[in-house]
Amino acid sequence: MPEKRVVPVISSLTDLESKLSGYLNTDTPLALLLDYDGTLVALADNPGSTILTANMKSLLNRLAAHPQIFLAIISGRGLRNVQSCLAIQGITYAGNHGLEIESGDGTRHDYELPVEIQKHYTAIVRELTEKLQRNGAWVEDKKLSLTYHYRDTPPALVEELKNAARHIIESHGFRANQAHMAVEAKPPVNWNKGEAALLILKNQFGINWTQKIKVIFAGDDTTDEDAMRLLQGSGISFRVSADPDLETYADFRLARQSVVEDLLTWINNVYTN
């Protein structure tokens, strides 16, 4: 059973070139799996205000177009939402922490939530909205999972609202995950970003994908740890965090979100030089 631990940090392109020298080569295909918020874009005040920089967009488009690179985005956002944020055609997207997946050719995989769980979801949205959508906090209803945001809540009220939200979520049997200035409510099913990543890789490369490809995953949040855990030993994963004491299932820590640009630049350099 893998365990979380403090891992080496990467702070620059030079670091990547030295610490991962030889991991990638032009003869071996690469599956590049990436989270969105806090990874491809800096966190913003509101989910509608994230900015994908021109250089990141250009790097992602170049990587997506490379014949040896398979690109998938695995996000906590709703599927259509994250697709519209990136607007890159022909790649695979997973939304709602992997509950809904659409590949580049339009093939879908939708995790069927049992009716009982769907009823609880509706009840959580109603209860959170009625009781706790106040003092700047709000409910992002993504139809399969939700995010309770409290970024604009006065600090003195945060603990109270957060605890009350967790209580409502858990009283309906849902999982409450701490996220960035938010609590994510996820259905109690054995499906997460890690399971979604494995399914995407199997569908794209077959059951023996570990023998055919290199895999890189990057994410910044607690929900990304599921992918880091399940990919341990079969790929290399990176957790974006400024915390030197952070314990993670990833292989490396990226010191800040801007180092993701270095990661994409490094991959682009390997495959295009």
Ligand X SMILES: O=P(O)(O)OC[C@H]1O[C@H](O[C@H]2O[C@H](CO)[C@@H](O)[C@H](O)[C@H]2O)[C@H](O)[C@@H](O)[C@@H]1O
116-175: contacts with ligand X (CB under 6 A): 140, 147, 149, 151
Q: What is the dihedral of CA 141, 146, 151, 154, to 10 degrees?
A: 90
Sign of CA dihedral 176, 75, 182, 116: negative
Stated length of the chain: 273
Question: CB of residue 197 vs ligand X: minimum separation in angstroms?
Answer: 12
Which position among 6, 44, 51, 65 is part of the footprint of ligand X (CB under 6 A)?
A: 44
Question: CB of residue 269 vs ligand X: minimum separation in angstroms?
Answer: 25
Which position among 37, 100, 102, 127 is part of the footprint of ligand X (CB under 6 A)?
A: 37
Distance CA 31, CA 71 (A): 6
According to the binding rule CB under 6 A, does residue 241 interact with ligand X?
no
Residues 6+ apart with CB under 8 A from 267: 24, 30, 32, 63, 69, 216
According to the binding rule CB under 6 A, does residue 184 interact with ligand X?
yes
Our CB check for ligand X shows the closer of 102 and 140 to be 140
The identity of residue 73, as a single letter, is: I
Closest CA to 229 of 210, 249, 199: 249
According to the binding rule CB under 6 A, does residue 181 interact with ligand X?
yes
- Total residues at interface with ligand X (CB under 6 A): 24
198-237: contacts with ligand X (CB under 6 A): 221, 223
Residues 6+ apart with CB under 8 A from 126: none
Q: How far is CA 30 from the centre of its chain?
A: 18
Which position among 50, 118, 222, 258 is part of the footprint of ligand X (CB under 6 A)?
A: 50
Kind of pairing between the strands at 138-141 and 146-149: antiparallel
Question: What is the x/- site pattern for ligand X, positions 66-105, by CB under 6 A?
Answer: ---------xxx----------------------------
Residues that bind ligand X (CB under 6 A): 35-38, 43-47, 50, 75-77, 140, 147, 149, 151, 179-182, 184, 221, 223
